[in-house]
């Protein structure tokens, strides 16, 4: 059954609001766990944990910014339950990860698992992009969704796998050489590298949003005229 254009836009707006509310709530919960564990660790004067706290904050920044961009670009009626269940699972992963600020091996092991779940999320969300491409009816939508597809594939085939392998490599390094990376605090170099990679990725996300913002505006203007 085809919904009237006005009704469809109203439902799209409701779904977007649900999505943004969910993202805000789950990342607020993740921030609570990061703040609580950071307070506990830093109260013991484990100053090296500051880098882990900064890395955890970047995890929240990345997830929130990617989620908002994804919502503004792709989310429409009907509600996608599987996609939102992935979001909740990622929030759980973040909460567990942030409880390991003072345990380098566990931190990188959980970071690897978290990157794996995010990787699956990117793969799963390709179906949303294909659905938007199929239903696109004007040049503005087609250009926007083509750009979203290119970004999604870049994350699936390059960016997220690199983050996954980085975390896995750090975990293996600590596991194989605890004398160097734990006893002699070599893990500081590893988490510094992780933090730097997160910052680079955040820069990429900001540049990507700046590139698609005009396309998103034209797409919305086209929808408003339909």
Question: pLDDT by residue for the chain (226 residues), tens digit each?
Answer: 444 477 878 888 999 999 999 999 999 999 999 999 999 988 887 777 899 999 999 999 999 999 999 999 999 888 889 999 999 999 999 999 999 999 999 999 999 999 999 999 999 999 999 999 998 878 889 999 999 999 999 999 999 999 999 999 999 999 999 999 998 989 999 999 999 999 999 999 999 999 999 999 988 876 655 5
Sign of the torsion formed by the C-alpha atoms of 25, 26, 27 and 32: positive
pLDDT at 4: 47
As a whole number of angstroms, the distance between CA 140 and CA 138 comes to 6
pLDDT at 137: 78
Least Cα distance to 192 among 55, 99, 58, 57 occurs for 55
As a whole number of angstroms, the distance between CA 111 and CA 194 comes to 10
Q: Which two tokens stand for residue 163?
A: 């983050």
Q: Is 147 helix (H, G, I), strand (E, B) or coil?
A: helix
Terminal CA-to-CA distance of the chain, rounded, Å?
Answer: 18
pLDDT at 37: 95
Least Cα distance to 20 among 85, 86, 69 occurs for 69
Residue 138 CA: distances (Å) to CA of 48, 72, 208, 213: 53, 18, 22, 17
At residue 46, φ and ψ (nearest 5 deg) are: -90, 80
pTM greater than the 0.85 cutoff: yes
**Cβ pair 104, 181 in contact under 8 A:** yes
pLDDT at 222: 66
pLDDT at 226: 56
pLDDT at 17: 94
Sign of the torsion formed by the C-alpha atoms of 138, 141, 143 and 149: negative
Residue 158 CA: distances (Å) to CA of 12, 131, 218: 31, 23, 29
pLDDT at 209: 96
pLDDT at 122: 97
pLDDT at 49: 87
């Amino acid at each position: 059954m085809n919904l009237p254009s006005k009704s469809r836009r109203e439902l799209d707006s409701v779904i977007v609001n649900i999505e943004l509310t969910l993202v805000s709530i789950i990342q607020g919960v993740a921030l609570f766990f990061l703040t609580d564990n950071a307070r506990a660790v830093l109260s013991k004067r484990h100053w090296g944990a500051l880098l882990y706290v900064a890395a955890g904050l970047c995890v929240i920044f990345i997830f929130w910014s990617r989620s908002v961009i994804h919502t503004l670009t792709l989310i429409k009626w009907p509600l996608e339950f599987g996609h939102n269940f992935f979001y909740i699972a990622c929030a759980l992963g973040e909460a567990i990860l942030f409880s390991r600020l003072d345990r380098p091996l566990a931190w990188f092991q959980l970071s690897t698992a978290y990157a794996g779940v995010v990787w699956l999320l990117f793969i799963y969300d390709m179906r949303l992009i294909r659905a938007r491409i199929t239903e696109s009816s004007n040049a503005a939508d087609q250009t926007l969704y083509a750009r979203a597809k290119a970004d999604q594939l870049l994350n699936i085939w390059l960016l997220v796998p690199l983050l996954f392998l980085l975390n896995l490599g750090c975990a293996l390094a600590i596991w194989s050489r605890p004398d160097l990376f734990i006893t002699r605090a070599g893990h500081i170099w590893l988490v510094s590298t992780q933090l730097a990679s997160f910052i680079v990725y955040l820069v990429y996300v900001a540049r990507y949003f700046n590139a698609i913002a005009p396309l998103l505006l034209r797409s919305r203007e086209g929808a408003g005229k339909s």
